[in-house]
Structure 1
Amino acid sequence: MVDIDEDLIRKIVKEVLAQRQIDTPISFKKADRVNDEVKDKKLVSDLAVPEKNISWFQPVGIAKPGYSKDEVVIAVAPAFATVLDKTESKVSHREALRQLIAGIEEEGLKARVIKVYDTSDVSFISAEADDISGSGIAIGLQSKGTAIIHQKDQEAMNNLELFGEAPVIDEQMFREIGKNAARYAKGDSPEPVAQPNDQMARPNFQAISAILHIRETRQVVPGKPAEEIKVTI
């Protein structure tokens, strides 16, 4: 595992602040780290950016619990589509959803898409989603591409399948993730989706992943309910 050193941390922080055109000099001295927790919360709030209006990705109200046993909920993270638009593997968010939905539909089930705002953690995104999924099965998806298949009444960290290496998740993998989620919803016990073993994925994408997660987290709105999303693909 490669550690993030101080130079990398500086690069990440400066890159994020640069997006807001903040010209105040940045100090990394220990003496300046006063009330860090309060400052961090304010920083995240101040760095949130307005969401873009995307024609194919439209909120249609607060997400309600479903009662159809043949549905799988796909829950996306706060920055998905409206702030960020592609995964670490360069798959557009529209295409990622198209493949997930296609995989679910190929198994004879239907997909419902929601957007979660009160967390950027993919485990908690999926756990929130399966509570409103009629089948009790949900897929959590971060903007960078990390994904989870989760089952209702399980602890957030206790997932059915975890896809933690976003740089290796391509279009076909998204489709297979959708298919497996649907199989779980039907009560099957499918073989886990095969994941490529790329030992260089973590060191090569670590800085990018950290920056994307910062961008995701700054869009978190504590207490904001998930929204139902109408997807046109």
Structure 2
Amino acid sequence: MGEFIGRKILVLGGSRGIGKAIVRRFAKAGGTVAFTYAGSKDAAEALAAETGAEAIQTDSANRDALIATVADRGALDVLVVNAGTAILGDPLTFDPDAVDRMIDINVRAPYHAAVEAARRMNDGGRIIVIGSVNGDRMPFAGGAAYALTKSAVQGMVRGLARDFGARGITVNAIQPGPTHSDMNPADGPMAPAMHSFMAIKRHIDADEVAELTAYVAGPHAAMITGSFQTIDGGFGA
């Protein structure tokens, strides 16, 4: 598994969950990996020690700090934007500032990070955004604002794929369904409802998402761009 030897990779939001699995996958394959974290300092330091990756504290809601972090990495081969947040519930009760912060992290950050990376990215590079199957389907109440952000990612991916295609840079989204994490455990109270929408009735493992991400970032995916690679156990079928 040395397919990323000599390749420079940045994972935005890499200290926990799917991001952690992605960092491990690229590091195992020989990549030179850096990842950002916002508040999980202990988890980030532990992952950096385990994998040899570089941990960088950056709040993806802070546009200027995010752009500076991406610019400081120089010519990347792979950018993975995993940082994200979710607000679910009655929209009449939401703090507008919290909704705007979610839009900053889930929409504005991927756009600005992708554009900044592309300024210096090596030809044939990869930009991958971890979106959500909820960009395609929102089958329960309370997810309008979150689904809005994930549908926005789809439009961004389509457009940037055309903008950067002449340089062989691909832009894609990975769209997981319910994935096991601290915030969404496979045995949590919402699991039965989530599984009821799925053809394969279990949570996705973060390592499964990481494997798909590595494929899209790899040499066999040079002609996959502007796409949404859904891994959801049939949630959206």
TM-score, normalised relative to structure 1: 0.28
TM-score, normalised relative to structure 2: 0.28
Q: Which has the higher contact order (CA 8 A, sep 6+)?
A: 1
Larger radius of gyration: 1
